[in-house]
């Protein structure tokens, strides 16, 4: 493995340059101070039942101890981004480690877990928030620290540590500093001229005429974050999976098609003939599937191992659901070939130049599919811990809805994260219900 290829010791700390995807995410926080609202602060919530006999103080102490243990296993929980480098400072004493725990493990008695997400702000470290009355945990940090599936791998590791705690020694964590996605993909540094052109063409494809997008309520300064969910009953979720399998498409592909058609229909209701005709937006890709065979995602949790790629579809309404899903299937299959993966280091420059030039905000939803959560997280851990519910969301300062898909305890969940300056709860609920209807209608499912 590549663990220490880029990490270098400088005095009492370890440093490395940011990876390609960290560079992109870092750009969202340029000029921001800790405590400021920021774009793409990722939050992942988990509600649990505790079957043990510990009182609340003891239970909280166990959670804090597990959090401290995971810092040793995943030291980038305590890494910071400083200008053009990633920095990790190992604790030199138990007191230093305890100070980090007190700063980053936050207990919120009497509060709702959604409050932390609604008012998410930039912090130097990842935080774990605990809401004792509801038995809710929320992992939250800027997206340059971690990604969606990594959040669920983290919670798996947390409950394993709660079930089977291990002693840790100061200094041991340095050997666990993780490799970057560029290292694991064998990305060329610097990228070749051909790789630079490939990614320039990909970014250029983001510009389309007459784009499809959501009607936006206002064009004011960003406000609080909003997160909404729509749960599909197990019988409906099972029918969706069966129909997708019979048609040779994944649930993610069918959902992607439904999101496009739902957005267009909502826009047409609002704008009539002035509605858009062409789709252009980002879809999230998990890069772990392309890493070497000896890579263990459960041992490398706190990193940004995903990337967003643009997808364009001309006149999707003329294609219809089936043809659109097949079109997306081909696009997904060819999105990340070996040359693009090895050239990933060429992606940030044209992408950030695009963001700088095209300041007009987009209202086209962006997509992120988590998949089946049980692939990353168990329903129960030992005799004491039961995972009841999960969710994930991103803070948004721009007018896009980031829409998520996951399946947990046999239920498919459609979710949307956005900013309350641009949409209210009814807007997002209508969007999610429209996506549901397009998905069911497209697959021929009657409810």
Whether residues 299 and 437 share a domain: the answer is yes
Q: Does residue 210 come out as left (phi exceeding 0), alpha (psi in the -120 to 50 range) or beta?
A: left
Q: Is residue 1 part of a domain?
A: no
**pLDDT of the residue at 169:** 86
Give the CA distances from residue 51 to residues 135, 158, 258, in Å, rounded to whole numbers and listed in that order.
12, 17, 40
Looking at residue 361, what is its pLDDT?
65
**What are 228's strand-pairing partners?**
416
CA-to-CA distance for 7 and 22, rounded, in angstroms?
15
Give the orientation angle of helix 251-271 with respect to helix 425-443, to 10 degrees.
120
Strands ordered across the beta sheet of 105-107: 105-107, 127-131, 136-142, 41-50, 385-394, 380-381
Tell whether 281 and 367 lie within a shared domain. Answer: yes
CATH of the domain at 427: 3.30.559.30
Are residues 304 and 162 located together in one domain of the fold? no
Domain-terminating residue out of 116, 149, 182:
182
- Are 132 and 278 members of one domain? no
Range of the domain at 106: 8-182
Residue 337 lies in a domain: yes
Is there a single domain that holds both residue 154 and residue 205?
no
- 16 and 120 inside one domain: yes
Task: Please indicate, yes or no, if residue 284 is contained in any of the structural domains.
Answer: yes
Looking at the fold, whether 177 and 209 belong to one and the same domain comes out as no
Q: Residue 89, SS3?
A: coil
Q: Of 261, 292, 305, which is closest to residue 279 (Cα–Cα)?
A: 261
The answer on 250 and 326 residing in a single domain is yes
Residue pLDDT tens, the chain, 447 long: 344 478 999 999 999 999 999 999 998 887 889 999 999 999 999 999 999 999 999 999 999 999 999 999 999 999 999 988 999 999 999 999 999 999 999 999 999 999 999 999 999 999 999 999 999 999 999 999 999 999 999 999 999 999 999 988 888 899 999 999 999 999 988 899 999 999 999 999 988 999 999 999 877 789 999 999 999 999 999 999 999 999 999 999 999 999 999 999 999 999 999 999 999 999 999 999 999 999 999 999 999 999 999 999 999 999 999 999 999 999 999 999 999 999 999 999 999 998 888 765 689 999 999 999 999 999 999 999 999 999 999 999 999 999 999 999 999 999 999 999 999 999 999 999 999 999 999 999 998
Angle at CA of residue 268, ends 285 and 405, nearest 5°: 25
**Same domain? 353 vs 285:** yes
Q: Are residues 263 and 311 in the same domain?
A: yes
Q: How far is CA 302 from CA 39, 108, 200, 340, 427, in A?
A: 19, 24, 29, 24, 33
Q: Which of 182, 202, 230 is the last residue of a domain?
A: 182
In a domain? residue 318: yes
- Residue 52 maps to a domain: yes
- The answer to the question of residue 364 being in a domain is yes
Give the list of residues 6+ apart from residue 355 with CB closer than 8 angstroms, or none: 27
pLDDT at residue number 359? 61
Task: State the pLDDT at residue 30.
Answer: 78
One domain for residues 125 and 168: yes
In angstroms, rounded to a whole number, what is the distance separating the alpha carbons of residues 441 and 446?
7
Domain with residue 80: its CATH number is 3.30.559.10
Residue 3 lies in a domain: no
DSSP states of 110-160: T--HHHHHHT----SS-EEEEETTTTEEEEEEETTT--HHHHHHHHHHHHH
Measured CA to CA, the distance from residue 400 to residue 366 in angstroms comes to 7
* Number of domains forming the structure of the chain: 2
Residue 243 and residue 213 in one domain: yes
The reported pLDDT for the residue numbered 220 is: 76
Query: Quick one: which of 123, 112, 135, 118 has its CA closest to 62?
Result: 135
Does residue 386 sit within a domain? no
Single out the residue in 182, 211, 234 at which a domain terminates.
182
Q: Which two tokens stand for residue 209?
A: 């005429």
For residue 344, give both structure tokens: 């990933």
Query: How would you classify the pairing of strands 366-372 and 306-314?
Result: unpaired
């Amino acid at each position: 493995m590549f663990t220490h290829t880029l990490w270098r010791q400088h005095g009492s700390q370890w440093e490395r340059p940011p990876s390609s995807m960290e560079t992109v995410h870092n750009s969202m926080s340029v000029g921001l101070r800790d405590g400021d609202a920021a774009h793409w602060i990722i939050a992942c919530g988990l509600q649990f039942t505790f079957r043990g006999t510990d009182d609340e103080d003891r239970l909280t102490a166990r959670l804090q101890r597990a959090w401290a243990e995971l810092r040793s296993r995943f030291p980038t929980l305590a890494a910071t981004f400083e200008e053009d480098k990633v920095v990790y400072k190992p604790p030199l004493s138990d007191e230093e480690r305890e100070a980090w725990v007190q700063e980053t493990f936050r207990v919120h008695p009497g509060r709702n877990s959604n409050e932390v997400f609604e008012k998410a702000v930039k912090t130097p470290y990842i935080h774990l928030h605990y809401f004792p009355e509801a038995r809710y945990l929320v992992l939250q940090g800027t997206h340059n620290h971690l990604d969606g599936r990594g959040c669920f791998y983290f919670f798996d590791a947390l409950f394993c540590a709660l079930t089977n705690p291990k002693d840790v020694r100061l200094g041991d964590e340095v050997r666990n500093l993780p490799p970057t996605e560029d290292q694991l993909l064998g990305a060329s540094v610097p990228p070749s001229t051909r790789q630079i052109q490939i990614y320039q063409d990909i970014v250029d494809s983001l510009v389309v005429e007459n784009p499809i997008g959501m009607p936006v309520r206002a064009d004011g300064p960003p406000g609080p974050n909003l997160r909404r969910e729509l749960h599909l009953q197990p019988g409906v979720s099972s029918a969706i999976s069966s129909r997708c399998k019979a048609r040779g498409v994944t649930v993610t592909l069918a959902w992607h098609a439904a999101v496009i058609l739902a957005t267009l229909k909502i826009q047409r209701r609002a704008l009539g003939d002035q509605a858009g005709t062409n789709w252009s937006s980002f879809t999230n890709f998990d890069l772990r599937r392309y890493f070497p065979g000896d890579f263990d995602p459960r041992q490398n949790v706190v990193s940004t191992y995903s990337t967003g790629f643009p997808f364009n579809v001309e006149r999707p309404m003329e294609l219809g659901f089936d043809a659109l899903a097949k079109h997306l299937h081909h696009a997904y299959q060819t999105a990340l070939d070996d040359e693009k993966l090895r050239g990933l280091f060429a992606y940030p420059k044209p992408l950030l130049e695009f963001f700088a030039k095209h300041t007009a905000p987009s209202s086209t939803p962006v997509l992120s599919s988590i998949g089946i959560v049980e692939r990353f997280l168990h329903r129960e851990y030992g005799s004491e811990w039961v995972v009841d519910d999960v969710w994930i969301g991103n803070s948004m300062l721009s007018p896009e809805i980031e829409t998520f898909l996951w399946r947990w305890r046999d239920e498919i969940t459609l979710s949307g994260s956005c900013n309350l300056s641009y949409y209210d709860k009814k807007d997002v609920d209508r969007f999610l219900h429209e996506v549901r209807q397009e998905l069911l209608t497209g697959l021929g499912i009657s409810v």
